[in-house]
């Protein structure tokens, strides 16, 4: 069924295409579907990915930029020479496939535990932090005049939004209260420079090969804001998968990340990065609580939501390690 629908769509815009094969739904986020398939073409099959909102899915979350914006940003990044898939086609109403886009499939690994442990990535791991610093610098250097309309986010607004969401659960957590107070006390104010921020710069959104970073995916939380936010987010302990002594994704140091960023011509403010690491840790904790809340209230009582919900306690430990470290 899906192959037939995709085949009709592809035939309308890909000259010479005779259909698609190997359509398979991949695991992914809660609100978007991801399908992998090959476009059958006389010049050789073309590996492709469909990213779309499922049919009948309601409005996008308020933080989401929208799939049309995501496609535009990915193509801008690709055209600027950043590791981003080429966007092949943006879905139209007549395609009857929902809202979304089709992009080039980049071969590689997105599962963090494999990247951190498998032998085939042994040579790549020491390079990743510095590579990702350069990639982040490239994202933050994209010209604002070429960007689509995006929401703006400041530290002050993010604190207020997080506190509002946390209090809506009616689930007091003293460590979260401590973190909110620390964030208010250390709010750095507006950034000297407003740039494009990827918004979810972490494991799972990188395609990694034996040669290192091959692509950055999932730009749905992109916005305008403090560029140090992306550097803080990738340092959150939840993305280290047990390798807690390697702050950048469990494979590198902050110094390596910063060196790659500054080698690309941009400046790092370590204090602001630390602020955003605390913010990111609390944000993930609040997101975990939200998953548990949705599991409790239904109608989706998936085990995945419950398991993610339980991880809020991990973020409390992480926050205490950041805010009250042992000497």
CA 24 to chain centre: 22
Say what the alpha-carbon torsion angle 3, 8, 9, 12 is, to the nearest 10 degrees: 150
Inter-residue contact 282 to 273 (CB < 8 Å): no
- Angle, helices 312-323 vs 270-297, to 10°: value is 160
Identify the band that residue 30 occupies on the pLDDT scale cut at 50, 70 and 90. low
Q: How far is CA 140 from CA 63, 119, 158, 228, 247, in A?
A: 19, 32, 19, 9, 21
Alpha carbon dihedral 129, 135, 137, 143, in 10-degree steps, equals: -170
Q: Could you please state the CATH topology (level 3) that the domain comprising 2-104 is classified under.
A: Phosphorylase Kinase; domain 1 (3.30.200)
Preceding amide of 299 cis, omega within 30:
yes
Asked if pLDDT for residue 56 goes beyond 60, the answer is: no
In this model, does residue 312 exceed pLDDT 50?
Answer: yes
Q: Specify the range with the lowest mean pLDDT, choosing from 70-84, 213-227, 310-324.
A: 310-324
Task: Give the model's confidence band at 32: pLDDT under 50 very low, under 70 low, under 90 confident, else very high.
Answer: confident
For residues 265 and 137, the answer to whether their CB atoms sit within 8 Å is yes
Question: Looking at residue 136, what is its pLDDT?
Answer: 98
Residue 91's closest CA among 64, 105, 63, 70? 70
Q: Cβ distance 129 to 253 under 8 Å?
A: yes
pLDDT for res 39? 96
> Is pLDDT above 60 for 28?
no
* Over residues 276-300, mean pLDDT: 85
pLDDT in tens, 73-120: 999 999 999 999 999 999 999 999 999 999 999 999 999 999 999 999
pLDDT band for 295, please (50, 70, 90 cuts): low
What pLDDT digit, counting tens, does each position of 227-277 carry? 999 999 999 999 999 999 999 999 999 999 999 999 999 999 999 999 999
* Beta strand ranges found along 178-299 (DSSP E): 195-197, 206-209, 212-216, 223-225
Query: What pTM does this model have?
Result: 0.92
Answer whether residue 327 shows pLDDT above 80: no
Q: Per residue in 63-73, pLDDT tens?
A: 778 899 999 99
Assigned superfamily of 112-323: Aminoglycoside phosphotransferase (APH), C-terminal lobe (3.90.1200.10)
Q: What per-residue confidence (pLDDT) applies to 300?
A: 63
* Sequence ranges of the domains in the chain: 2-104, 112-323
Q: How many Cβ atoms are within 10 Å of 299's Cβ, its own excluded?
A: 5
Instruction: Determine contact, residues 288/173, Cβ cutoff 8 Å.
Output: no
Are 95 and 50 in contact, with CB atoms under 8 Å apart? no
């Amino acid at each position: 069924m899906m192959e037939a629908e995709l085949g009709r769509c592809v035939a309308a815009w890909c000259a010479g295409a005779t259909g698609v094969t190997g359509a398979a739904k991949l695991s992914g986020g809660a609100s978007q579907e991801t399908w992998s398939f090959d476009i059958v073409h006389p010049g050789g099959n073309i590996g492709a990915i469909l990213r779309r909102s499922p049919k009948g899915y309601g409005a996008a979350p308020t933080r989401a930029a929208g799939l049309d914006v995501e496609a535009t940003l990915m193509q801008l990044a690709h055209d600027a020479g950043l590791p981003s898939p080429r966007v092949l086609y943006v879905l139209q109403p007549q395609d009857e496939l929902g809202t979304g886009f089709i992009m080039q499939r980049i071969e590689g690994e997105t599962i963090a535990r494999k990247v951190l442990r498998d032998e085939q990535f042994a040579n790549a791991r020491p390079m990743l932090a510095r590579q990702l610093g350069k990639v982040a610098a490239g994202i933050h250097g994209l010209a604002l005049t070429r960007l689509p309309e995006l929401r703006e986010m400041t530290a002050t607004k993010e604190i207020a939004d997080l506190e509002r969401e946390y209090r809506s659960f009616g689930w007091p957590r003293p460590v979260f209260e401590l973190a909110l107070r620390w964030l208010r006390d250390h709010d750095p104010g507006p950034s000297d420079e407003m740039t494009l921020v990827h918004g979810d710069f972490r494991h799972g959104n990188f395609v990694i090969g034996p040669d290192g970073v091959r692509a950055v995916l999932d730009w749905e939380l992109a916005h305008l804001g403090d560029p140090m936010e992306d550097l803080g987010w990738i340092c959150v302990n939840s993305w280290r998968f047990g390798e807690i002594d390697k702050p950048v994704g469990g494979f590198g140091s902050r110094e390596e990340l910063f060196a790659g960023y500054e080698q690309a011509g941009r400046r790092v403010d370590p204090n602001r990065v630390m602020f955003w690491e605390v913010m990111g840790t609390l944000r993930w904790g609040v997101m975990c609580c939200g998953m548990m809340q949705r599991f409790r209230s239904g109608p989706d009582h998936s085990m995945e939501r419950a398991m993610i919900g339980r991880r809020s306690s991990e973020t409390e430990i992480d926050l205490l390690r950041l805010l009250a470290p042992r000497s």
